[in-house]
Amino acid sequence: MNRLLKDILLAIVTALSLSAFIYLADFGITNKLLNTILAIGGFALFLYIPKRAILFTGFFIGLLWFYWIGYSFKYQGVAYMGPIITVAFGFIYLLFFLPLYFTDNAIIRALLLFGLSFVDPFGWNWMQLPLPFVDSYFGVYKYQFALILLALSLPSIVKKPYKYLPLLLLIGAINYGYPTQIKAPLKIKLITTHIKQEEKWKQSNLYPTVLMTFKEIQKAIQEGYDVVVLPESVFPLYMNETPDLIKNLNKFSKKITIVAGSLLREDGKNYNVTYMFQNGSYKIAKKLVLVPFGEYIPLPKFAQKFINDTFFSGASDFVTAKHPTDFMIKGVKFRNAICYEATCPELYQGDLKYMIAMSNNAWFAPSIEPTLQKLLMQYYARKYGVTIYHSANYKGSGVVQ
């Protein structure tokens, strides 16, 4: 067999082994044994495949995990950028794993992989290397990931008959349990909406959207819920500029707590925010962590305006809060998280048991993005012992533990 073809096939097998858990979950298949075998096999291959196969593996992993990122560009008026961004993410992760190309030593590759687990290119942190173990028999803590890599790499230097003795280190990586997660002592209704992104911001759809939202709130009241949670930007407007809407939501909040996403314009700045209406008044939580290239440009300031105006139609100009926001709802504290934030460790700091998260996943429909998002939320929820109440447009709503 041609060596190049062999390297490509090895790369495909490696990339598929480390990506299969996402696609299986997307089809509703969660098998811990299968996920364990695939993840262990994928990382073992990564440590031992030829140098050139490393490059192809990085490229294919970038595609398999993040092909969907380019989808959102058509809503920014630059649809031609979609395929370019998809291929670009292949090359980004080719470069991300490039350090492994410079050595054939499995132990050095293991050390490099462990080091890369702390790196987030351009602030994009969805490539969590321990993530393939999130629904497996192994844990996702860094020490467990380190033990797995050591167990797989040390046989390369141990001679027979003890060559595979290092595999005993895998015992230390077994998932012996995460911090206790409990559900909030409230009856919480999570709303899923199905509004296509191309329809979401049309003025003609504003009234039907608001009407649909109030029907959901009324239904939740009739069903006896304490809290109703609606998706990110479910109100597609600057809510602080619509006093009548706020007045009506305040009125309904005397019967049920309403948590909903919208926008805020303040001092000429735009914010992606959550409104919490309770007992006839409301509070606002501004987003803390913005989406790289979606809501801000992670480049030097001299390049930000040009890229924002050229490729994002001026849309990536949101600003952030300075710290996370917590809501007290009927005596229970909830951390607020908007979409990408729910997959960022900054949001899990402090005394935290419950989180309310909201997303608009229609940006990336149809794709695996909601599934990958849910797996990442599970990753953080289990590590930190947090129960997440997630409401999404398109797909992804549910209680995450």
Is position 286 annotated as part of the catalytic site? no
Please indicate whether residue 339 is annotated as part of the active site: yes
Hey, what long-range contacts does 247-254 have (CB within 8 A, 24 or more apart)? 248/214, 249/275, 249/277, 249/282, 250/277, 250/280, 250/281, 250/282, 251/280, 252/214, 252/217, 252/218, 252/221, 252/277, 253/277, 253/278, 253/279, 253/280, 253/281, 253/282, 254/279, 254/280
Looking at 200, 286, 295, 339, which residue is catalytic?
Answer: 339
Nearest-angstrom CA–CA distance, 63 and 70: 11
Does 344 qualify as catalytic in the annotation?
A: no
Q: Name, in order, each residue with C-beta under 8 angstroms of 340's C-beta and a sequence gap of 6 or more.
A: 289, 290, 291, 294
Could you say which of 189, 216, 232, 395 is catalytic? 232
Instruction: Pick the catalytic residue from 200, 287, 353, 374.
Output: 287
Neighbour order of strands in the sheet with 326-329:
326-329, 332-338, 354-360, 387-393, 398-400
Whether residue 189 contacts residue 222, with contact meaning beta carbons closer than 8 Å, is answered with: no
The residues assigned a catalytic role are 232, 287, 339
